Amino acid sequence: MPPMIETINLTKKYGDLVALNNLNLTISEGDCFGFIGPNGAGKTTTIKILATLLKPSSGQANVAGLTIGYQNRQIRPLIGYVPDFMGAYEDMVVTEYLEFFAASYGIHGSQRVKTVKDVLELTDLTYKADAEVNSLSRGMQQRLSVARVLLHDPKVLLMDEPASGLDPRARIEMRELLKELRRMGKTILISSHILPELAELCNVVGIIERGQLLFSGTVDEIVRRAKMGHVLHVGVTDRVEEAAKVVAGMPGVKKVTLTDAESPGAAVNGAGGASKANGHATKMIVADFDAAGGRNYTDIPNVLINQGFRITKFTEEPVNLETAFMRLTKGLVQ
């Protein structure tokens, strides 16, 4: 069985700008694929090509074994495209909006009434059936946009930042809806900047930067790839700079910085004794440890204790999808 979505050396150019550069993606039937990358990385371009809205400059894109650009008429009934903004439909109520699109899909009569009713129930919008589309909140409009693409029961959902601009409650509701769609067997490609939610929702994730796919795999695989070493946080009661020098001289330690214990982001290297609060140093030692060659960082506390330091903290910074993304990308855009 061919992949549900496949791109082969997919390239898209706008003049001298290369938006996609030999992109190779494989998404199996039933996958929920999280597509992440900086703004301008090529996510929307990819989704629009798969939605048959853009023509690739070269390479190939397939949906359900059908080729974009040659078999678009057969592909379009199989896909549902949810853009980040749904557009304005003045003076239309929710039911009229859905009936209009159902008619466009060739759904008529009692079947259309039933289909509209079903998608309203699935997206929890039944109580808004007679409300004007423009009166809906941003979250409800996004759910209505999902309801629209479900009318013809597509196999593939292409979702471009569906949680963009949503408040926390609306994001949770959108996430639960997507989980239900995945349970229904839909193949979903979703781009998003809300990485913790993608980690919970998606079984496969791809990281794209400057039009090139850097990594693709499960969240655990990407985290393991990013975890090329360890970031250790070490706290001592006093003599922080002296302790930092001891840590810096240990095998496997590549870099040591001093950061404020209250504000870990403010890195400090250097001079001056560590300030104290309530008798404890307010500086934290942050060490980058290279685990190559079977090195183990567990000796660090013993060495510090043997040299008379009192340890208040010794932890490894966890690696999740967010930190993996930051480590594996450079923040480059086209």
Closest to 174 in 3D by CA, of 156, 188, 153: 188
pLDDT of residue 320: 62
pLDDT of residue 155: 95
Q: pLDDT category, 264, cuts 50, 70, 90?
A: very low
pLDDT of residue 229: 65
Q: Are strands 32-36 and 204-209 parallel, antiparallel or unpaired?
A: parallel
8 Å CB contact between 252 and 291:
yes
pLDDT of residue 183: 92
8 Å CB contact between 22 and 212:
yes
Tokens standing for residue 119: 């998608």
pLDDT at 271 over 50: no
The mean pLDDT value for 79-95 works out to 85
pLDDT tens sequence across 6-56: 999 999 999 999 999 999 999 999 999 999 888 888 999 999 999 999 999
Q: For residues 146 and 87, which has the higher predicted lDDT (pLDDT)?
A: 146
The mean pLDDT value for 166-188 works out to 89
Confirm or reject CATH 3.40.50.720 for domain 5-225, answering yes or no: no
What are the boundaries of each domain within the chain?
5-225, 229-318
pLDDT tens sequence across 122-144: 999 999 999 999 899 888 998 99
Q: pLDDT category, 117, cuts 50, 70, 90?
A: very high
pLDDT of residue 59: 96
pLDDT at 261 over 80: no
HEC readout, the chain: CCCCEEEEEEEEEECCEEEEEEEEEEECCCCEEEEECCCCCCHHHHHHHHCCCCCCCEEEEEECCEECCCCHHHHHHHEEEECCCCCCCCCCEHHHHHHHHHHHCCCCHHHHHHHHHHHHHHCCCHHHCCCEHHHCCHHHHHHHHHHHHHCCCCCEEEEECCCCCCCHHHHHHHHHHHHHHHHCCCEEEEECCCHHHHHHHCCEEEEEECCEEEEEECHHHHHHHHCCEEEEEEEECCCHHHHHHHHHCCCCEEEEEEEECCCCCCEECCCCCCCEECCEECEEEEEEEECHHHCCCCHHHHHHHHCCCCEEEEEECCCCHHHHHHHHCCCCCC
pLDDT tens sequence across 152-166: 999 999 999 888 778
Q: Which of 2.60.40, 3.30.70, 2.20.25, 3.40.1350 is the CATH number of 229-318?
A: 3.30.70
pLDDT of residue 216: 86
8 Å CB contact between 142 and 170:
yes
pLDDT tens sequence across 210-242: 888 888 888 777 766 666 667 888 999 889 999
